[in-house]
Amino acid sequence: MNVFYLESGSLKVGRVLKETGTSLQVQSQFGKQIKVKTNHVFIFFDGTSPDDFFNHAQEIAKTIDPDLLWEAFDGSEGIYSIVAKAFFGQSVTQEQEASVLIILFDNPTHFYKKGQGNFKPATAEALKAAKTSLEVKRQRDLLLARHIEQLCTDVMPLEFAGILPRLLYGPDKNQLEEKAIEQACVRLKIGKRALFTKLSIMPVAEAFHLGQFLYDNFNNNSEHRNDKCVPAIDSLATSQVSAFSIDDAATTEIDDAFSLTGDENIGWRLGVHIAAPGLCIETDSALDKELRSRMSTVYHPAGKITMSPPSIIEQFSLSQGRTVPVVSLYADIDPEFAVGRIETVIEALSVTDNLDLSVIDDHFDPDLGLNQSVDCLRGGELHVLYQLASRLREARGEKNSHMHRKEYTFEVADGAVSIKPRKRGSPVDVMVSELMIFANSHWGSELKNADISGLFRVKTKSKTGLSVLPLPHEMMGVEAYAWVSSPLRRYVDLVNQRQLIAHVQSQEPTYRSNSEELHSILYDFETKYAQYAEFQRAMERFWCVKWLLQSDQREFEAEVLRDNLVRLDSIPLVCKADKLPQNTIGQRVLIRVLEINVFDNFASAEWIETLQLVTDEPTT
């Protein structure tokens, strides 16, 4: 005796070996002996082999239109044998009953299983929807096959043109296009980058990294939406001081400038002047919302993405020869460099000189006193400011341990990079940083003493970073510190400048104490600022790897940091070095660079020899 039965959701045939109450010992059509419950058996048959029975039933099933079988139910639930008689007639054969079961099981869109051989036909509406869905799937399968075929023959499907950024930077494995790319890669036995290169859509490495960042943070478009000037304020008194700025030659957002009047006999009047977009940009305006969404200028070795639109930068930047609104901090300095009276003034300022930082770095020498080189513009004033900055540093009690730490400048042109060391803590660095700390700490204290809310930089045992509470910055040695000096580059500075302006003008502050909006700005800023900093580090690493690639040199001196990590002397690159001997931390070694990958920002190396121990003791 043979049976037509259900096992694991599939219809099968087999020969009965033994009956044991409610189950049967069956040898399946594939020769495997299994136990089958009798209530899983649909048809018992003799006279033909299981294989012939099954094959004949399948042939009959091919002639059955599921739609016609669906009509045989007449809208009512029924057992398969009754439906088979309604479809084939009363003299239905066992093979025909089996063929009906095959159709019922193979078409779940038409028929719902109700158990024990009973089935319920789908409603007309449900069947129509299911058919539509199946047709959509069929069309998608056809399209997928066409995409795969095109990709495998180095043809980019036309449908891909409008979604290239997503394919490159934000692939979604559930989308049809990504499935086509994945299957084409499998068929061609290559990776996605290789496929994109064959299709001529793979950007060069620099553009790829920048594109990924823009896709993740700027919706693939860094253009400003509100690039137009805002109404100016014409009623401000113009300062009569001769002010100058110190910035890189490529700087466009010149936020700050300095002035110095007086002499060493009577003392000086110091001016720290900060661009004042906070006077004119309305809170919650379209421009303000865009600035808030960006939060900061993004820097990387090959360029930057400014927070402020070009028109706003041109309108408020402290460019040479232009008169712009500023918030000025004036401080009386006696001949011993003690700070006296300090006041904050909102005014207009015409900047006399925009000094090039690199030129001043090269020519300013504190040891020359007031007699600086003719190539060092404003040399006498710079000397006084440097002396003042040194005294301010001493007064704060900050150690100089970080001075002269090696840093690097990156210069990128036409896809090539040069990397040059630069000492941190140069006289110009000290001068600019100390005057900014002086102004920001005073304004932070001014907001704190007036009980006006703001966003403060804090450093205590329990808190480091931004805070709405005016806690001390213990590392700097100041009681309060608020970023105010870069309102064209950082939104936090613009927020604090608005608060400061309201205080100076005796107006209601924009943000009140415990403002939820202020907390929201703090969180969003720190999130964005961290993302931008990570991008800057990644791009600096990219250009280091690119520098290795464009160089013929492959052997470099390096310092062992830990385990198998080394830092090259020539450029600020940390990489793994294989074969390093144990206990070499702090030692200088010679390494050979083996592998360079500018898309993954990756370089590997191997140890050649150990040179000497790095110490702080001078050699004799």
pLDDT digits (tens, 9 = 90+) for 382-412: 999 999 999 999 999 875 544 456 788 899 9
Nearest CA to 182 among 416, 299, 174? Answer: 174
Nearest CA to 212 among 596, 526, 531? Answer: 531
Strand partners, 592: 555, 606
Same structural domain for residues 88 and 173?
no
Within a domain: 230: no
**Tally of CB atoms within 10 A around 44:** 14
* Residue 21 confidence (pLDDT): 83
Q: Across all residues in the chain, what is the average pLDDT? A: 92
List, as one string, the DSSP characters of 564-580.
TEEEESSSS-EEEEETP
Question: Please, is 570 exposed, middle or buried when counting C-beta atoms within 10 Å of its C-beta (0-12, 13-18, 19+)?
Answer: middle
Return d(Cα 179, Cα 146) in angstroms, integer. Answer: 12
Q: Cβ distance 439 to 274 under 8 Å?
A: yes
Answer with the one of 500, 534, 568 that is the final residue of a domain. 534
Alpha carbon 143 to its chain's center: 33
**Residue given tokens 């100058």 in the structure block:** 244
Same structural domain for residues 78 and 144?
no
* Residue 617 confidence (pLDDT): 46
The first and second tokens of residue 366, run together, are 């504190």
The first and second tokens of residue 135, run together, are 């047709």
Is the CA virtual torsion 306, 312, 314, 315 positive or negative?
Answer: negative
Within a domain: 229: no
Residue type, 281: I
Answer with the one of 534, 565, 583 that is the final residue of a domain. 534
Q: Cβ distance 348 to 326 under 8 Å?
A: yes
Same structural domain for residues 105 and 196?
no
State the DSSP H helix or E strand holding residue 260, giving kind and residue range, or none if neither: strand 256-263
Nearest CA to 599 among 302, 222, 212? Answer: 212
Same structural domain for residues 518 and 606?
no
Same structural domain for residues 186 and 308?
no
Within a domain: 84: yes
The sheet carrying 118-121 orders its strands as 78-79, 118-121, 111-115
* Residue 399 confidence (pLDDT): 57
* Residue 613 confidence (pLDDT): 58
Nearest CA to 202 among 160, 174, 173? Answer: 160
Q: Cβ distance 566 to 433 under 8 Å?
A: no
* Residue 620 confidence (pLDDT): 35
Which residues, 6 or more positions from 585, have their beta carbon under 8 angstroms from its beta carbon? 560, 561, 562
Within a domain: 127: no
Mean pLDDT of 412-420: 92
Strand partners, 485: none
Mean pLDDT of 187-201: 95
* Residue 401 confidence (pLDDT): 45
Return d(Cα 93, Cα 223) in angstroms, integer. Answer: 75
The first and second tokens of residue 615, run together, are 């110490």
Same structural domain for residues 517 and 370?
yes
User: Would you give the DSSP letter of residue 8?
Assistant: T
Residue 337's φ and ψ, nearest 5 degrees, are: 70, 25
Q: Cβ distance 97 to 117 under 8 Å?
A: no
Within a domain: 135: no
Instruction: Collapse the DSSP code of 337 into the 3-class scheme (helix H, G, I; strand E, B; otherwise coil) and give the result.
Output: coil
State the DSSP H helix or E strand holding residue 98, giving kind and residue range, or none if neither: helix 94-106
Q: Cβ distance 255 to 244 under 8 Å?
A: no
Answer with the one of 150, 179, 202 that is the final residue of a domain. 202
Could you tell me the pLDDT band of residue 234, with boundaries at 50, 70 and 90? confident
Within a domain: 216: no
Same structural domain for residues 384 and 453?
yes
Residue 525's φ and ψ, nearest 5 degrees, are: -65, -50
Same structural domain for residues 251 and 181?
no
Most confident region among 25-29, 114-118, 436-440 by mean pLDDT: 436-440
Mean pLDDT of 481-489: 97
Q: Decide if pLDDT at 505 tops 70.
A: yes
Cα–Cα distances in Å, from 523 out to 85, 460, 509, 520, 530? Answer: 72, 19, 20, 5, 11
CATH at residue 569: 2.40.50.140
Same structural domain for residues 522 and 443?
yes
Same structural domain for residues 89 and 159?
no
Q: Cβ distance 47 to 40 under 8 Å?
A: no
Within a domain: 231: no
Structural domains of the chain, count: 4
Return d(Cα 504, Cα 442) in angstroms, integer. Answer: 13
Same structural domain for residues 54 and 187?
no
Find the farthest-apart pair of alpha carbons in the chain and give their distance in angstroms, rounded.
126
Instruction: Collapse the DSSP code of 488 into the 3-class scheme (helix H, G, I; strand E, B; otherwise coil) and give the result.
Output: coil
Q: Decide if pLDDT at 159 tops 80.
A: yes
Return d(Cα 305, Cα 298) in angstroms, integer. Answer: 5
Instruction: Round to the nearest angstrom and report the end-to-end CA distance of the chain.
Output: 103
* Residue 618 confidence (pLDDT): 45
Could you tell me the pLDDT band of residue 185, with boundaries at 50, 70 and 90? very high
**Domain carrying residue 350:** 243-534
Model confidence pTM above 0.85: no
Return d(Cα 322, Cα 514) in angstroms, integer. Answer: 39
Mean pLDDT of 552-568: 93
Q: Decide if pLDDT at 519 tops 70.
A: yes
Within a domain: 511: yes
**Residue given tokens 């009386």 in the structure block:** 332
Same structural domain for residues 191 and 249?
no
The bridge status of strand 267-275 relative to strand 2-7 is: unpaired
Return d(Cα 209, Cα 412) in angstroms, integer. Answer: 15
Return d(Cα 413, Cα 436) in angstroms, integer. Answer: 31
The first and second tokens of residue 63, run together, are 């002639």
590 versus 249: which is more confidently predicted? 590
Nearest CA to 382 among 424, 426, 420, 444? Answer: 426
Return d(Cα 103, Cα 223) in angstroms, integer. Answer: 59
